[in-house]
C-alpha cells in the first residue's frame, strides 16, 4: 500500500457520508498544513450492533467530491484487509471508555482507539482533526496520544449545526421529517441548560426538556467536568452537558459547553 503522501500533513479520519460538518474539519486541517488527507473507512470494530454497521450510510463518490471541494489533497478509502491485515492489538479505552457511550456500546471506544492508532501508524500525520460532536471520543483520542507519546497534534473542531440547531451527523440522513422535528429536543435541552444559574439547576432542566418530548427516549443526560468526565459541580471550571437517546431505532448524541450564568 503506497499512499504517496506529502508532508507536513493534516489528517481527517472519517467513516464517510460526508456533510458540512466534515467539510469544516477539512478546512481547519487545511489551515494547519498544506497537505490534507481524508480517510473514508467504516470501522467494523466500533460497531457493537451488526445491524447498525449494515445500515451505516455509504456514498464514496459523493464523499470524494465533498472532500475535494473542502480542500482535501488526498482521499483514501482503504479496505478492511489493508487496515487489519492480521488480528489487531486492541487498545483499551480504560475507565473513561466504559462511561456514558461505553455503557450502551460495549467495546465501542476500544474499536475507535484501535483504528485511529492504526490510521496514524499508516499515515504519520503531524496534525489530526476531530470534532467536538463526539466529545467522549475526542477526549479518549487525546488521552491515547498523550499516553503513547505520539508525535501528533490533535486539533479540536467545534460542532456544526443546521439553522434549526440540530448538530450535523451522518446518521441524520435516516431521520424522517417527523423524527427530525423530534430530534430538535437535543439542542433545545442543551441551550436551555446553558442558561441556568448553577450546575444542579442546569442538570434538572436538561432532563425536564428531554422528557417533555415523548418521541425521544433518553439514554443519558449529564453535566460533566470536561477535563476528566467526572460529574460536574458548581465548582467545576469546565462543565459540559452531554446527552444521548433514541428516536425509534436511531441513536443520536449531542453536547454543549455550559457556562452556568457566568459563575466562573
List the catalytic residues: 22
How distant is the alpha carbon of residue 141 from its chain centre? 11
Q: Is 17 exposed, middle or buried (0-12, 13-18, 19+ CB in 10 A)?
A: buried
Give the integer Cα–Cα distance in Å for 178 and 183.
9
Distance CA 121, CA 123 (A): 6
**33 within 8 A of 6, measured Cβ to Cβ:** no
Cβ proximity of 182 and 212 under 8 Å: no
Amino acid at each position: 500500500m503506497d499512499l504517496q503522501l506529502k508532508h507536513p500533513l493534516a489528517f481527517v479520519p472519517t467513516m464517510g457520508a460526508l456533510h458540512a460538518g466534515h467539510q469544516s474539519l477539512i478546512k481547519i486541517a487545511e489551515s494547519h498544513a498544506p497537505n490534507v488527507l481524508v480517510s473514508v473507512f467504516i470501522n467494523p470494530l466500533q460497531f457493537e450492533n451488526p445491524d447498525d454497521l449494515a445500515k451505516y450510510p455509504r456514498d464514496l463518490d459523493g464523499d470524494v467530491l465533498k472532500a475535494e471541494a473542502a480542500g482535501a489533497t488526498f482521499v483514501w478509502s482503504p479496505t478492511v484487509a489493508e487496515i487489519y491485515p492480521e488480528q489487531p492489538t486492541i487498545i483499551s479505552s480504560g475507565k473513561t471508555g466504559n462511561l456514558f457511550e461505553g455503557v450502551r456500546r460495549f467495546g465501542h471506544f476500544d474499536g475507535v482507539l484501535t483504528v485511529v492508532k492504526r490510521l496514524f501508524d499508516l499515515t504519520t500525520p503531524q496534525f489530526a482533526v476531530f470534532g467536538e460532536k463526539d466529545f467522549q471520543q475526542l477526549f479518549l483520542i487525546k488521552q491515547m496520544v498523550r499516553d503513547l507519546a505520539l508525535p501528533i497534534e490533535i486539533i479540536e473542531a467545534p460542532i456544526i449545526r443546521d439553522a434549526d440547531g440540530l448538530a450535523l451527523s451522518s446518521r441524520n440522513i435516516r431521520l424522517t421529517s417527523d423524527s427530525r422535528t423530534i430530534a430538535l429536543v437535543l439542542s433545545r435541552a442543551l441551550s436551555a441548560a446553558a442558561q441556568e444559574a448553577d450546575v444542579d439547576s442546569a442538570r434538572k432542566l436538561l432532563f425536564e426538556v428531554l422528557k417533555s418530548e415523548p418521541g425521544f427516549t433518553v439514554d443519558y443526560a449529564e453535566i460533566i467536568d470536561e477535563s476528566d468526565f467526572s460529574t460536574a459541580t458548581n465548582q467545576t471550571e469546565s462543565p459540559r452537558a452531554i446527552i444521548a437517546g433514541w428516536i425509534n431505532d436511531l441513536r443520536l448524541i449531542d453536547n454543549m459547553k455550559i457556562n452556568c450564568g457566568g459563575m466562573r
